[in-house]
Amino acid sequence: MNRTRMIGASLLAALMLAASAFYLGRKTAQPSDESMATPTTSSTADGRKVLYWHDPMVPGPRFEKPGKSPFMDMQLVPMYADSATGAASETGVKVSPTVQQNLGIRYASVRRAEFSSSFDAVGAVQFDERLNVAVQTRVAGYVEHLSVRAPMERVRKGQALATIFAPEWLGPQNELLALKRSGVAPELIAAARERMRAMSIPAELIRRSEEAGTAQARYVLAAPADGVVAELNVREGVAVTPGMTLFRIAGLGKVWAVAEIPEAQALRLARGQKVKAILQADAAQSFDGTLDEILPEINASTRTLKARFEVDNSKGKLTPGMLLRLQVMGPSGTRLVVPSEAVIRTGRRAVVIVRKAEGAFEPRDVSLGMDFGDDTEVVSGLAEGDQVVASGQFLIDSEARLRSVLGNMAAPAAVPAAGAAAPTQAVVVHKAEGKVESVAPDGITISHGPVATLKWPSMTMGFAKASPNAFPEIKSGDRVRFEFKEGGAMGYELVSMQRVQPGTRP
């Protein structure tokens, strides 16, 4: 019995010794640094290609080798080229068709469209001052009878305006009649007639005096052109003097339409440009016209220039003061356009998300031209036929979690290899003051004033918090003075905040 127990104890001791040796060998074979146990090749055993390694909690930086994250106490995670839910390349992201459908992404094609530089403007009708005619008298006398008694009356060419009595014309006419009765030489009679013409005695008045044999001192002023009496400066019985303007007649065969044109559009105008004028009160009536002059003055408050258009009014339907809608005809041409909603304007840049093959996307900088309704002209950066994301641009960023590619629309910064110390970069802190609109665990929405360091105007936006417990004393409605920096889940992260009393100077 004792012998059997001794044999069992010996076998048990041998088994324990073997197990200890096996365990000691396994422990010695393991590397001391767990981070070195990660494969260093760019392909796994099953042949999957690794694009880079990254920290899931800090998705922006990329690493060329595996190892421990310099940001968090965790191992770097590989990103495979054939990732089903989202893979990043050097120029964009890849999103599976299922995810695209869930995000409701819409696409639009870059296309060429026919556009005209024509535009509309509103102009007020005015007299064409080049058609104005002044009616004067060149002799002293009196107004015996006034045929036109009120301003703005329409007159026809040759219509009587007033009867003038001119006693100064009696003497020269009597002298002419006396010479004719005395039978003097024809040269003397011709000289007397020349003298009367020099005194501006109308030829019709001289003819009537010679036919009647008595001097004529009354003559009728007739309208020299069609139009309206814009000025009436006399009344019956008043005395007139040489050079005095009795009437001013404004022609209506052509009128001016004066419109204020925005400065940007005025640069495309040229004299002689055709225009179609439509009566504002009756769209069925239209008139032809041309651009006559761009007045060399600009309204500093509205940034507009005055343009003068000559409009045909041979039918006499336009009168000063009427409003006309002017359709200014400009040259036509084709332009490369995309829907305006597809453009992401960051303030400094304009970016669109371009759809590539097999569900891949990439951001692309573009230079923009003019806006045409719902479309925007693309000067450079895109080609005809390119597919762009019309909606869901920011959802692609959220799904792919690649802020280095899409979030800030900036190239990823250089990152040290695994195991090396993270580089120290200068953090720019911006200051502002505003009112807290809402407080959430991940951020605070603030209506703030201008930020000089970023050249921002006043706006309302959200700022990320470093942790959910940050700034517990801040409540909605508080007036705060705060500092923030670039980064965080919302693009900008709060650094410090403090409440201020209303009226407190910064």
Per-residue confidence at 311, pLDDT binned at 50, 70, 90? Answer: very high
* pLDDT mean over 159-167: 92
Whole-model pTM: value is 0.47
d(CA 325, CA 281): 10
> Which tops the pLDDT comparison, 86 or 374?
374
Parts of the chain belonging to CATH 2.40.50.320: 430-499
**Any idea what DSSP says for residue 506?**
-
d(CA 365, CA 370) in angstroms, rounded, equals 17
pLDDT average, residue stretch 331-336:
80
Take residue 166 and report the two structure tokens written for it: 């001119």
pLDDT at 408 over 80: no
Q: How far apart are CA 235 and CA 246, in angstroms?
A: 9
Whether residue 176 contacts residue 196, with contact meaning beta carbons closer than 8 Å, is answered with yes
- What is the dotted CATH code of the domain comprising 430-499? 2.40.50.320
Region 326-336 average pLDDT: 81
Any idea of the CA torsion for 133, 137, 143, 146, to the nearest 10 degrees?
Answer: -20
pLDDT, one tens digit per residue, over 76-105 is 877 776 554 444 444 466 666 776 777 678
CATH 2.40.420.20 segments of the chain: 93-115+334-407
* Cα angle 55-59-65, degrees, rounded to a multiple of 5: 45
pLDDT of 42-55, one tens digit each? Answer: 666 556 678 788 77
Predicted confidence at residue 11, as pLDDT, reads: 44
Question: Three-state SS for 178?
Answer: helix
CA angle 195, 240, 194 (to 5 degrees): 10
Instruction: Specify the CATH architecture of the domain 93-115+334-407.
Output: Beta Barrel (2.40)
Contacts of 340 (CB under 8 A, 6+ apart): 371, 374, 375, 376
- The larger pLDDT score, comparing residue 273 to residue 24, is at 273
Q: Answer yes or no: is pLDDT of 323 > 90.
A: yes
pLDDT band at 403 (very low <50, low <70, confident <90, very high): very low
Residue-wise pLDDT for 280-300, tens only, equals 888 889 999 999 988 888 888
- Residue 294 CA to residue 307 CA, distance in Å, equals 4
pLDDT digits (tens, 9 = 90+) for 423-478: 445 678 999 999 999 998 888 999 999 988 888 888 888 898 988 888 999 999 99
**DSSP track, 302-371:** TTEEEEEEEEE-TT----TT-EEEEEE---EEEEEEEEGGG-EE-SS-EEEEEE-GGGEEEEEE-EEEEE
Q: What is the CA radius of gyration of the chain?
A: 46
- 304: exposed, middle or buried (C-beta count within 10 Å: 0-12, 13-18, 19+)? middle
